[in-house]
Structure 1
Amino acid sequence: MSDISDYELEREANIARNRELLAKLDFSVDLPSNPGKRKAQEKSSAKPVQPNKRTKREKEPVIPVRQSARLRRTTVILDESPGQRKRREKEEEELRKKEEEERLEAEEHAREAKRPRHHDLDLSVVADDLLPEDLSALRTTLQTLTQTAHPRRTASHDAFVFDTDKKEAEALTDLREKLGRLKVVARAKVTQDRVYSAAYHPDPTKDLIFFGDKHGQLGIWDARAPPDEAADEDGETSAASDGENGRHWAMQIHWPASSRSSISSIKFDPVNSHNVFTSSYDCTIRSLSFTSEISREIFSTDDVLISCIDLLPTGQEMWISDAVGGLTHLDLREDRSRARWYQVSEQKIGSVSINPRNPHFLVTASNNRAMKVWDTRRLENIPVQTLDDDLVEMKDFNQEIVEEHLSSAAGNNCLRADWRHNKSVSSAYWDPRGRSILSTSYDDTLRLWDIDSSLMARDTPFPSSRPFSHVQHNCQTGRWLTVFKAQWSPNPDCYPHFTVGNMEHSLDIFSCKGDLVTRLADRKKITAVQAVTCSHPSILERAASGNASGRCVLWAPLDL
């Protein structure tokens, strides 16, 4: 019996027939005797994608390992006299002490680099990474802003309250027409890390936007400034073509440069906008003066994260919210030690907003699912304590003391409203009229409340009512995106509206009634979620946004 299987016999027969057929066609091909092994294919003429050229790093010098004086002695001195030995031992002891001092000093410098900075800082210090010519341009820009005062403006409480639906529809149509023309006109990477906060400077001659990032860096973007010029090999200058628009500068306002120093909010001085206030997770609040070019700390806490700040229209008082459910009242005319702290929630308060028309009304948003309206005239009415027959004013009021005060006659009507959400409330803000409240919640809903002026004039709690408008909006940003916080346009001259980021990479604009005005998007230029938004305080057709990589966008008409 043959050892060759039927399959092998059939395969050999097929090969023989194929060769005979090719021979008849006068077509010579070398068929492999073993199909399992193929000849190597000829090299393709197409060049493969080349990797980026890497610059060869120079070898770093080897740092000598620290050794004691005893180990550095390579020879034994046999004929050393007692006097010589004492001198040598003294020199070795002095060298050892010097090395120990240097080591301790280096460790102290390392610890200092991780602590917040509480002293005054010059502009050249916070912007020490800038080139001299860039620092000079920044100084010029800031000094230009001080030439004109730009006070915060508010609208009448009954502004844009129409008698008929027809007039309101006309105002909404006009708003849609103007804001629908906004396009991407400028882009730049303003900060090194994720954008956490933003504020639009009110100067109408510029598009100057301030962005705060995750690592305590304050970026200033002059979005319509002429681009920097770069010199080529022949010495000729041309506009830089790196895909960025305008000019931007970065300053390390809060320290250390880590996630412990994220800038949670940015506010301009409401009187003249010549100062910018920033709050940070490093438990400090700093003020940068454009006039003196000095950054100074105006408030700090021991270990409580500061989530938000807001200033009264006078610019002399500030309210501060924190991560342990507290509100702090700070009078900027007094020493910071006189600040008073009230714990009004058992969980974090994410935002605090002052009513621009009635500054004694605050609205707070908390992780305990509550949005509350407070009358600070009653909140500040908590009685002082007496100690050893001397009148001592208490500075800290815990939740037990606050609740006891709310139930007393002195604290009656201090809490004007308590509106619950299905999940934690990310933010709540008054509009420029001091009439409407806008809240953003993790239950994927934007809510709008309208409060009549007659209710504010009464000394009674606001009636328990549902919001007049619910807007379904995806707010599930996750841990890698900044939390959505819908922001009112601060412009009092136009029909009230607000901006909010969208998980579909657009910038959404809604009216004060909850109607979608427009959805700004550009799939070719925008490929990330525009989580942080802001609008120009005096020009309607301006909006800005920032994403998780520090890249920012200016939206404006193309015929700018």
Structure 2
Amino acid sequence: MSESYEREREANIARNRALLEKLDLADAVNQLGVPPKPKPTPRARAKPIQPAKKVKRERDIVEAPRRQSARLKKEVVDPNETLAQKKKREEEQKKTHREEEQKRLEAEEKARLAKRPRHQELDLSTLVDELEGSELVSLRSSFQAVTNVPLPKRIADADAFVFDEDQKNEAGVADLRKKLQKLRVVSRAKVTQDRIYSAAYHPEPTKDLVFFGDKHGQLGIWDARASADEVADEDGNISADDKEGGKYWRLQCHWPATAKSSISSIKFDPVDAHSLFTTSYDCTIRRLSFVSGISQEIFSSGENLITSIDLPVGGHEMWISDGGGGLTHLDLREPKDKACWYGVSPQKIGSVSINPTSPHFLLTASNSRLLKVWDSRKLQTFVDPTGPQEFSLDTIEDFIESKNGKGTVRAEFAHGKSASSAYWDPRGRGIVSTSYDDTIRLWELDAAKYSSSSNFPSFTPFCRIKHNCQTGKWLTILRAVWSPNPDVFPHFTIGNLTHSLDIFSGKGDLIARLSDNQITATQAVTCSHPSVVERCATGNGSGRCVLWAPPDV
């Protein structure tokens, strides 16, 4: 039976093959009776770094008590109760109802206050309530390691790296390119839980301590080259390429932990770098002391979102830009209610930058497409200490048009679209700006003209670099940020939508375009070490951060 069945099956195959050959279906003939080919193996993608497994401590969540139906709370009444018993029962019910209502109102108020910004002083144990005791000790030791020696902010001379000969400029660029093209990814970690908004590199030359601010008010502190604890994957294996590098700590400096508390700017104290200023969309500025471990609110703007701050080398004052088109001058030696607000733009000011060598010059970039250089001495001439501390846009514009206000705006340039940022270089004579018109612009000013009271004779960029800045809704705005190192040829870093880190010289030359197969997201936020040339740090939209350094570091 089986032999006859097999002969019949082979005969059917032969007939089918002959029929297919008549129909010129050669491919089908070749595949007849041949098992299907296996599917190609999908292309391997870069595996994301594996966050360290940390055991979170239980957090006290304040919840208001839920209302309960009166029907469910209804008691069984004794049908034989007397009038006195009924009266007593009703009085007890009213008393119980009043007590429950009082408790409910108190719990609701407590829950409401828990969601509001915190204005009180906060210690490290409050800021890092998810860390174990040993991690808190390691954070305090890291703070202590960078507070042993004062590290004041350094600036370059106004005439530094100013060459009349092109050969010297080319030599400076070539030397910079030789150093920075060697940079590679040497450490990666998920430093914050949400999108990176801002970053700052601590000036300690022996460490790579980088601070990142995220979308939900969290400050990530990353010691990028510290010895990290090894974390095994699901199979128990440890891969050097996949594990996190260094150690990091997360501090909830601004509250509540929502998008209303995004950390928009981070600055170190320029006097000694022993404390850190953070600005937030919760309209507050806080100072975190590395010595005491206390976070203190130093300013609150009411309802204006704070976009950026800057401090001169002296460190006793601060200029603040906000979403309402205003600049605020804050003297850190006086009470915060003495701060003066100036309306200088009809739309949001994205950044404010203080000239490091001539600190009375302020640089602003706004959504009104204008980049302006202000003389702060002129703005402060009409401040009446006994009068109001706020000056509207109309008041400022009238003053600028008046005889006494001449020279308040020393220079102005209109971009094609909103100007997202503009910064002075460490010499105080170079400017770089970014705009939504997809162009990076560079200026080189003559510092000898700063002493005059008139407008700068010429204020047009000498270089324009095409750069895609269409970050959209889910990426942090790209900003070109100068390296604060005053010892090298001026250069700046900016993220690229092709997932690379771009480094340009102050003359507009592309120094390096750093990329890596492990990097699969846009490095939107960048910063550089103030003392070590071959150090850059970047952060992306998921809180993952990268340290770029020579591979043999």
Alignment TM-score > 0.5, same fold: yes
Q: Is contact 2:366–2:419 with CA below 8 Å preserved after alignment?
A: yes
- Does 1:530 find its partner at 2:531? no
Three-state SS of the structure 2 residue aligned to 1:136 is helix
1:541 corresponding residue in structure 2: 534
- Does 1:213 find its partner at 2:207? no
Q: Is contact 1:120–1:297 with CA below 8 Å preserved after alignment?
A: yes
The 1:239/1:514 distance shift into structure 2, 3 A limit, reads closer
2:112 corresponding residue in structure 1: 111
2:223 corresponding residue in structure 1: 222
Three-state SS of the structure 1 residue aligned to 2:245 is coil
Where do 1:399-548 residues align within 5 Å? 399-522=393-516, 524-548=517-541
Give the share of equivalent positions with the same residue, in percent: 58
User: Which amino acid is the alignment partner of residue 503 of structure 2?
Assistant: I
1:174 corresponding residue in structure 2: 175
What CA distance in whole angstroms lies between the structure 1 residues aligned with 2:66 and 2:373?
63
User: Which amino acid is the alignment partner of residue 514 of structure 1?
Assistant: G
What CA distance in whole angstroms lies between the structure 1 residues aligned with 2:112 and 2:383?
42
Q: Is contact 2:65–2:104 with CA below 8 Å preserved after alignment?
A: no
Three-state SS of the structure 2 residue aligned to 1:250 is strand
The 1:218/1:346 distance shift into structure 2, 3 A limit, reads same
Per-residue deviation, 1:227: 0.6
What CA distance in whole angstroms lies between the structure 1 residues aligned with 2:149 and 2:271?
11
Three-state SS of the structure 2 residue aligned to 1:492 is coil
Per-residue deviation, 1:410: 2.1
Q: Is contact 2:230–2:243 with CA below 8 Å preserved after alignment?
A: no
2:347 corresponding residue in structure 1: 347
2:142 corresponding residue in structure 1: 141
What CA distance in whole angstroms lies between the structure 2 residues aligned with 1:422 and 1:213?
29
Deviations 1:174-229 (CA, angstroms, capped at 9, x unpaired): 11011000000000001111000000000111100000001111000000010125
Q: Is contact 1:438–1:449 with CA below 8 Å preserved after alignment?
A: yes
Which range moved further: 408-417 or 204-213? 408-417
> Based on CA coordinates, which of the two structures has the bigger radius of gyration?
1
1:81 corresponding residue in structure 2: 82
Where do 1:33-72 residues align within 5 Å? 66-67=67-68, 71-72=72-73
- Does 1:559 find its partner at 2:534? no
What CA distance in whole angstroms lies between the structure 2 residues aligned with 1:64 and 1:267?
42
What CA distance in whole angstroms lies between the structure 2 residues aligned with 1:239 and 1:106?
48
The 1:552/1:79 distance shift into structure 2, 3 A limit, reads same
Deviations 1:435-478 (CA, angstroms, capped at 9, x unpaired): 10110111111111111111112221102332111111111111
Q: Is contact 1:227–1:240 with CA below 8 Å preserved after alignment?
A: no
Per-residue deviation, 1:114: 2.3
Per-residue deviation, 1:422: 0.9
Per-residue deviation, 1:133: 1.7
User: Which amino acid is the alignment partner of residue 320 of structure 1?
Assistant: I
1:51 corresponding residue in structure 2: none
What CA distance in whole angstroms lies between the structure 1 residues aligned with 2:314 and 2:66?
61
Q: Which runs of 5+ in 2 are unaligned?
A: 17-34, 40-63
Per-residue deviation, 1:245: 0.5
The 1:286/1:82 distance shift into structure 2, 3 A limit, reads same
Where do 1:280-291 residues align within 5 Å? 280-291=280-291
Q: Is contact 2:478–2:495 with CA below 8 Å preserved after alignment?
A: yes
Per-residue deviation, 1:140: 1.4
- Does 1:317 find its partner at 2:310? no
What CA distance in whole angstroms lies between the structure 2 residues aligned with 1:547 and 1:20?
67
What CA distance in whole angstroms lies between the structure 1 residues aligned with 2:462 and 2:449?
16
- Does 1:265 find its partner at 2:265? yes
What CA distance in whole angstroms lies between the structure 2 residues aligned with 1:25 and 1:429?
82
Q: CA RMSD in A?
A: 2.9
The 1:336/1:100 distance shift into structure 2, 3 A limit, reads same
User: Which amino acid is the alignment partner of residue 267 of structure 1?
Assistant: K
Three-state SS of the structure 1 residue aligned to 2:129 is coil
1:373 corresponding residue in structure 2: 373
Per-residue deviation, 1:82: 3.6
Q: Is contact 1:219–1:251 with CA below 8 Å preserved after alignment?
A: yes
2:390 corresponding residue in structure 1: 396
User: Which amino acid is the alignment partner of residue 140 of structure 1?
Assistant: S
The 1:240/1:123 distance shift into structure 2, 3 A limit, reads farther
Q: Normalising by structure 1, what TM-score?
A: 0.85
Q: Normalising by structure 2, what TM-score?
A: 0.86
User: Which amino acid is the alignment partner of residue 468 of structure 1?
Assistant: F
Q: Is contact 1:364–1:372 with CA below 8 Å preserved after alignment?
A: yes
- Does 1:333 find its partner at 2:342? no
What CA distance in whole angstroms lies between the structure 2 residues aligned with 1:323 and 1:64?
38
Q: Is contact 2:188–2:546 with CA below 8 Å preserved after alignment?
A: yes
Three-state SS of the structure 1 residue aligned to 2:453 is coil
Q: Is contact 1:229–1:239 with CA below 8 Å preserved after alignment?
A: no
1:54 corresponding residue in structure 2: none
Deviations 1:254-277 (CA, angstroms, capped at 9, x unpaired): 111111111110000000001100
- Does 1:204 find its partner at 2:205? yes
Which range moved further: 221-230 or 360-369? 221-230
Per-residue deviation, 1:109: 2.4
User: Which amino acid is the alignment partner of residue 344 of structure 1?
Assistant: V
Per-residue deviation, 1:81: 3.2
Three-state SS of the structure 1 residue aligned to 2:329 is strand
- Does 1:125 find its partner at 2:126? yes
What CA distance in whole angstroms lies between the structure 2 residues aligned with 1:94 and 1:239?
65
Per-residue deviation, 1:329: 0.2
Deviations 1:296-327 (CA, angstroms, capped at 9, x unpaired): 11001221101110011111100000111100
What CA distance in whole angstroms lies between the structure 2 residues aligned with 1:116 and 1:188?
29
User: Which amino acid is the alignment partner of residue 149 of structure 1?
Assistant: P
The total of aligned residue pairs comes to 507
Deviations 1:333-362 (CA, angstroms, capped at 9, x unpaired): 000111000001101100000000010000
Per-residue deviation, 1:408: 2.0
Q: Is contact 2:411–2:459 with CA below 8 Å preserved after alignment?
A: no
The 1:93/1:74 distance shift into structure 2, 3 A limit, reads closer
User: Which amino acid is the alignment partner of residue 277 of structure 1?
Assistant: F
Where do 1:86-97 residues align within 5 Å? 86-97=87-98
User: Which amino acid is the alignment partner of residue 288 of structure 1?
Assistant: L
What CA distance in whole angstroms lies between the structure 1 residues aligned with 2:512 and 2:94?
76
Per-residue deviation, 1:20: 12
Q: Which runs of 5+ in 1 are unaligned?
A: 1-18, 32-41, 47-62, 385-390
What CA distance in whole angstroms lies between the structure 1 residues aligned with 2:489 and 2:10?
85
What CA distance in whole angstroms lies between the structure 2 residues aligned with 1:372 and 1:116?
33
The 1:549/1:338 distance shift into structure 2, 3 A limit, reads same
Deviations 1:382-418 (CA, angstroms, capped at 9, x unpaired): 153xxxxxx8322000011111111222211111001
User: Which amino acid is the alignment partner of residue 367 of structure 2?
Assistant: N
What CA distance in whole angstroms lies between the structure 1 residues aligned with 2:281 and 2:66?
39
Q: Is contact 1:285–1:297 with CA below 8 Å preserved after alignment?
A: yes
Which range moved further: 255-264 or 19-28? 19-28
User: Which amino acid is the alignment partner of residue 321 of structure 2?
Assistant: S
What CA distance in whole angstroms lies between the structure 1 residues aligned with 2:240 and 2:166?
51
What CA distance in whole angstroms lies between the structure 2 residues aligned with 1:334 and 1:239?
53
What CA distance in whole angstroms lies between the structure 2 residues aligned with 1:65 and 1:372?
55
Three-state SS of the structure 1 residue aligned to 2:381 is coil
User: Which amino acid is the alignment partner of residue 280 of structure 1?
Assistant: S
Three-state SS of the structure 2 residue aligned to 1:333 is coil
The 1:231/1:511 distance shift into structure 2, 3 A limit, reads closer
What CA distance in whole angstroms lies between the structure 2 residues aligned with 1:199 and 1:310?
13
Q: Is contact 2:208–2:224 with CA below 8 Å preserved after alignment?
A: yes
